[in-house]
Amino acid sequence: MNFLYYSLDDGSKAFHKMKHLLDGDPFFLQTDLTPGKVIPIGQIGTDLIFISGVGKSEAICRMAWAHALSQNGKSLSDWTFIRVDE
């Protein structure tokens, strides 16, 4: 299962939230954050963890992610999108 945690900024809030949950051992440095970009950040058990920042375009990015997955024949049901509020 893939879990994408996103925040309504450039991804900083999602990064800090997941860094804490991943015991401060993320795959990448925060300077790699690019607004909109989906970034793999770690793994919990068999679950892959991703983060992103969507600015003010939450619904539009969620739709764009779904269509990108569809383009490659991937199932949306393998992904869970979770908004990080703080």
Residues 64, 17, 49, CA angle at the centre, nearest 5°? 50
Interface with another protein includes 56 (CB under 8 A)?
A: yes
Interface with another protein includes 51 (CB under 8 A)?
A: no
Q: Which of residues 65-84 bind another protein (CB under 8 A)?
A: 65-72, 74
Interface with another protein includes 54 (CB under 8 A)?
A: yes
Strands 2-7 and 39-44: unpaired
Sequence-distant contacts of 63-68: CB under 8 A, at least 24 apart: 65/4, 65/38
Interface with another protein includes 14 (CB under 8 A)?
A: no
Interface with another protein includes 50 (CB under 8 A)?
A: yes
